Structures are given as structure tokens and as C-alpha cells.
Amino acid sequence: AGYYDGIDVVTDMHGSSASLASRSRLTPDDAKLVVAMVGLPCCGKSSICRKLSAFLSWKGQRVRIFNAGRARRQLSDEGKLPPASSSFFDANNVEGKELKEMIAMSTLDNLLEWLSSSGDVAFFDATNSTVKRRSDITRRVEECGRRSNSVPMRVLFLETLCDDPVILESNLLNKVRTSPDFAGMTEEEGIADLKRRLTYYESIYESLRPSEGSFIKLLNMSSYVVTNQVFGRLSRSVLPFVCAIHTSQRPIFLTALVPTHTEKLFASQRSAWQLVSSSFNEGEAADADLAKRLAAWVQKQAFQGKHLCVLASTTPAALEASAAVVEASGCSVTQQSMLNPMDLGTDPGTLRQEIDKFTSRINGGESYEDLVQRLEPCLLEMEGSTDPVLVIAHAMPCRALRAYFLGLPVTKCMESDSSEAAGALADARPCVLELNPVRGRFQEIIHVLDPVP
């Protein structure tokens, strides 16, 4: 019997039409997006907000996070609310419940005002733990979209769940140590108060249901992922990124190859970018010299006992350098053409000032936006790796990747004189730039590669 034997595939045309209409409504990429977080305290909502916000900002989106807890603490600092203990979150505390709803909806109104006027993506960082609250969010967003009479607004719910006791204990401790809610308490008192708060939330918590529209559910920071009605931009960009993130700590290493002739012409418009130095040889000799220095440096590193993953462009210089590194360390390497040099157009020595704009294309070359778009798969691979990653490419791709990890605008990181670290990428000295994660941020360390006899 065939797979479809006994099944009438055209009997429910109404249901099929409704499904297609829903998909058609959710597929367009031009809608403004509200990402409403869902989850208990200490499940990673704010951490995911920050990472996803940095990713979308790197891609050129105008992004902002609106945090209901921060709004509550501000009211408390102004004397309009008492300091919040766990009893404030008790579902039986009628006054506390009304205040929480008022604060949440006020925060959402501020979000919608910003999104209507100047934003592309807004994050609503709150527990949003009941079906009723989420229904109110959807209704308000859709009403605002209709009132704005311009670009429609869409809602994506992003739920974070955590049942890993190690992650939970770490998150509890971090929240008690950093949140103003627990100022004046001992660590033990703060953890006890926070656990009572969690108990109150758990008593009313309702997980997302398919009838609530577009959502992504994450268990233990993407060890298990469930999606519903996720199409268009969400399926191409947001979902792969969410699937890539994890809690493992590992450094990222960037090393820029000897500048090409085209890059030198581009650099000639930047007096601060000094490319001619006794530290670099010229031509093929320079490529071979850098490959030897890099291989020697990698061979000396312990990488905290982890396996090094190397991502290299497909240019001859990158192939030579990555082969030398593999021979020296036995690490794995992947060549990716998206790491190849930025196309600076037919005349890279002129009109360079215009390229400071993120979307500008000069003389048929790539814009920074084009570069970021082709680097996106590489970035997702870097984010998904739990091992240290070494990128071997030319200056522009390396600087664009650096901008993401530091949470900086791409346009502020592409000039060598924008910072010492940017200058270290294909400047006068052969270097490796280390981006080391420390408390949710990346710190930079410049390693100058020593000559090899």
C-alpha cells in the first residue's frame, strides 16, 4: 500500500486555506518584530535577549530590549514602590499582582511606542508566564500595528525552560549576586528569597501552546528546541541563531592575513593604517612567514585541553596558513569562501568616505551589510562551537566578526585606527587577536606572533 492510500488529501480545503493564509501572514520579512520572552526567573531569558539583540544589531537591525523587572526596580528607586521581596510575587497578593500587570503593560506600551517610530525589533523581557498575559501582548501588538497604518507588527514568543540543576544553581547564584533586588541580604538569604519567588511563579506558570501563534521553545539553552509557525526571516536567521547558542565558555581567535593589493589601495585613503613595515615581508614570502609564525604560536597553546577548530578563507594565503597550523597541532580545519576578502569595487582608492554607511556599495563593490550577510553562516558555526575557534581570513571579515563579539556597530570597527585591536588585524605586525569570554562579555588580548628562525 502507498503512503497516501486511504487518505483524501483535498477534503479539508477550508483548513488547508486557513493554514496557508496563516503561513502567508507570517512569512513576510518587512514586518516589525516583537520578541516576547516567556519563562521562570533564572532560566536564561535576559541572557538570550542580549545575545539575540547583539546578533540582530550586527545585521543592521535597529534593536532595543525593554525589561519589566528593570522598570519595577526604577519605580522602587523613585520611592513609588516598596523594595520587592518574594511576597510581592505571590499569586495571592492581589495588590502585587495588579502592580505587576500595570508595570508589564506600561513597559509594553513604551516598547510599542519606540517600535512604531524608529525600531525594527524589540524584546519584551518579562516572565509572561500565563496564557492571558500573552494574549494581551498579542492583542496590543496587533492593535498598534493597525493604528500605525504602515508596516505591520508581528509577535514571536521565545520560551526558555531549564531543568538542569547545575545550570539552575549557577543562574540562582548569579542573580542573587548581581540583582539590586537582593542588596542588603546575605547570599543564603537571597537564594532562599529567590527560591520562594520561583515557587510562586511555578504555581501559575503555563507553557506555550500551539494556539498562541509563532513561538520557539528552548530547553537548557537549546539542548532541545520546539517551534511553531516559524517562517520567513524567523526561520532563516533567528531560529538558527537560537539553536547555536550555548553556555560553554571558549575563546575566539582572529588572525588577519597579509593585506592584498586591493586592501592596500583602500588603506592608502587612511593615513593611520600603516601597512609597510619591516615586520611583514612582501608577496608569497609574507604569506609563508605568517603561516610559520601562526603555526608556531598555535603549537605552544594548551587551549584548556580542548580541540581547536580552524575556519579559514579559500584564498591561497589562508590555505597555506591553515595547512601549517594543522601540521603543527593536528586540529581540524574548514575552508569557507564567505571568509574571503571584502570586494572593495573597481576603484578602491576613491570615494572611500561613503563606505562608512552600512549599506553603501562603492564602484560595484560590497557594502558592510553585504559582508555581514555572507559572514552569517560562519558566525553561526562559531557560536555553535563549544571548542576554541581560530579564524584565518583578511582584515575586513575579521573586523566584522570582532564587531559582533564585542557588541559594537560594524561601521565603528572597520578602520584600523578605530582601536588598537582593529589595527592589530592586518596592521604593521602579524598578530592573533584573542576574544576571551568573561562574565558574559568578551575581553581582547593581542598576541604578537614572534618570528620563526
Which residue type occupies 135?
Answer: S
pLDDT surpassing 80 at residue 166: yes
Q: Which residue has the higher pLDDT, 453 or 29?
A: 453
Contact 251, 437 (CB under 8 A): yes
pLDDT tens, residue by residue, 74-124? 887 777 776 667 777 878 888 888 888 999 999 999 999 999 998 999 999
Confidence of residue 17 (pLDDT cuts 50, 70, 90): low
Q: 20-24, 36-40, 247-251: which has the highest mean pLDDT?
A: 36-40
Terminal CA-to-CA distance of the chain, rounded, Å?
A: 72
Contact 91, 204 (CB under 8 A): yes
Q: What confidence score (pLDDT) does residue 92 get?
A: 84
Confidence of residue 441 (pLDDT cuts 50, 70, 90): confident
Q: What value does the mean pLDDT take over residues 32-51? A: 93
Q: What value does the mean pLDDT take over residues 411-439? A: 82
Q: What is the mean pLDDT of the chain?
A: 84
Confidence of residue 226 (pLDDT cuts 50, 70, 90): very high
pLDDT tens, residue by residue, 191-225? 998 999 899 899 999 999 999 999 999 998 767 89
What is the spatial distance between Cα 227 and Cα 217, in angstroms, rounded to a whole number?
A: 6
Q: What confidence score (pLDDT) does residue 18 get?
A: 60
- C-alpha distance from residue 293 to each of 90, 286, 288, 305, 421 (Å): 61, 11, 9, 22, 19
Q: What confidence score (pLDDT) does residue 450 get?
A: 92
Q: How many CB atoms lie within 10 A of CB 140?
A: 18
Contact 449, 430 (CB under 8 A): yes
Q: What confidence score (pLDDT) does residue 246 get?
A: 85
- C-alpha distance from residue 84 to each of 77, 80, 180, 288, 376 (Å): 11, 12, 10, 62, 41
| Cell 586540529 -> residue | 331
Q: Which residue has the higher pLDDT, 62 or 7?
A: 62
pLDDT tens, residue by residue, 53-79? 999 999 999 999 999 988 888 887 777
CA dihedral 15, 21, 23, 25 (to 10 degrees): -150
Strands, sheet with 332-335, edge to edge from the N-terminal-most edge strand: 332-335, 309-312, 389-393, 252-256, 431-438, 441-448
pLDDT tens, residue by residue, 258-298? 876 555 545 544 433 333 333 344 567 888 999 999 999 99
Q: Which residue has the higher pLDDT, 235 or 353?
A: 235
Helix (H) or strand (E) holding 365: none
User: Could you give the 3-state DSSP secondary structure of residue 332?
Assistant: strand
pLDDT surpassing 70 at residue 149: no
Contact 37, 124 (CB under 8 A): yes
Q: How many CB atoms lie within 10 A of CB 7?
A: 8
Contact 34, 141 (CB under 8 A): yes
pLDDT tens, residue by residue, 176-194? 988 888 888 899 999 998 9
Confidence of residue 241 (pLDDT cuts 50, 70, 90): very high
pTM for this prediction: 0.86
Q: What confidence score (pLDDT) does residue 285 get?
A: 82
Confidence of residue 359 (pLDDT cuts 50, 70, 90): confident
- C-alpha distance from residue 322 to each of 119, 192, 318, 325 (Å): 41, 52, 6, 5
Q: What value does the mean pLDDT take over residues 368-379? A: 95
